[in-house]
Amino acid sequence: MVFVVIISSCASTKQLTYFRNITHDTVTNIQPQALQTVIDKNDILKVAITTQDEETTRLLNSSNFISESTGNNSIGLLSGILVDESGTIQIPLIGTIKASGLTKNQLAVTIADKLSSMKFAIDPIVSVRIINYKITVLGEVNKPGVIPIPNEEVTLPQALGFAGDLTPYGRRDNVLLIREIGGKRVLKRFSLNDDQMFNKDFYYLQNQDIIYVEPNKAKAGLSDRTTQLLPIFLSALSLVTLIITTLVHK
């Protein structure tokens, strides 16, 4: 019984250690990450437009409110412009503009050029933000869920910190990243036990990324009914053996 308990409770510290292949006093040059988030369908954008005419500015920015309803019940107005299934948005005075596949800067330049070419504004100032930027962390973490990212920039260590870090039952050597790129779902696996997580493909997360941490064998053992009952069975067997041995000697 003691042997079974020891085996079931024993876990290698190597499996729980991050970055174990990094030597002491390692120095790495960090290249600034130029975040070029690409707008996709179903993104919600905040488009701020400033012109020299107050009424024109008010009209252009009126599109930043979308109505959301459930059945016959109206929830109200949400701040933002929804990129529809065709990848376009609607801007007053301009009309339909293709947004998906563009970066925020590219879309801002496109809107400004449209306003200038159509004589609606001279040198307009346009800024674009993605206001539904979020990542999801699931599996063996202490606080799984959807994490909104207001500043549109998050790294993998930050995301794991927001999720309360991995539980002792999370596999650190086989974490799954699910990412949508150009209409395709890409799945990548990597390890937290070494410096692989500093790879740019994993370190800098993108909008709508999903991180899944699968359970290890210890967690699987806890959920296995047979494993749970084994110590009880062995204890009972030991007790019966002890009783029989005592009666025989008498």
| pLDDT value for 51 | 93
**Global pTM?**
0.69
- Non-local CB neighbours of 10 within 8 Å, separated by 6+ positions: none
Q: Do 159 and 172 belong together in one domain?
A: yes
| pLDDT band at residue 181 using 50, 70 and 90 as cut-offs | confident
Q: Give 203-242 pLDDT, tens digit per residue.
A: 899 999 999 999 988 766 665 555 566 677 778 778 788 7
Assigned domain for 33 exists: no
Q: 41, 100 in Cβ contact below 8 A?
A: yes
Same domain, 101 and 151: no
The answer to whether residue 183 is domain-embedded is yes
Query: What is the count of structural domains for the chain?
Result: 3
Query: Residue 178: is it exposed, middle or buried by C-beta count within 10 angstroms (0-12/13-18/19+)?
Result: middle
User: Rounded to an integer, what distance in angstroms lies between the CA atom of residue 33 and that of residue 154?
Assistant: 11
* 43 and 207 Cβ atoms separated by less than 8 Å: yes
120: enclosing H helix or E strand? none
Task: Examine residue 180 and state whether it is found in any structural domain, yes or no.
Answer: yes
Q: Among positive and negative, which fits the CA dihedral 148, 151, 155, 160?
A: negative
Q: What is the arrangement of strands in the sheet containing 125-130, beginning at the earlier edge strand?
A: 81-82, 44-50, 125-130
CATH number where 207 lies? 3.10.560.10
pLDDT band at 19 (very low <50, low <70, confident <90, very high): low
- For the stretch 91-142, pLDDT in tens is 998 999 999 999 999 999 999 999 999 999 889 999 999 999 999 999 999 9
d(CA 147, CA 144): 9
Residues 125/49, Cβ–Cβ less than 8 Å = yes
In a domain, 95, yes or no: yes
Consecutive H or E run containing 229:
helix 225-249
Q: What is the pLDDT of residues 51-102, one digit of tens each?
A: 999 999 999 988 776 544 444 444 444 578 999 999 999 999 899 999 999 9
CATH of the domain at 51: 3.30.1950.10
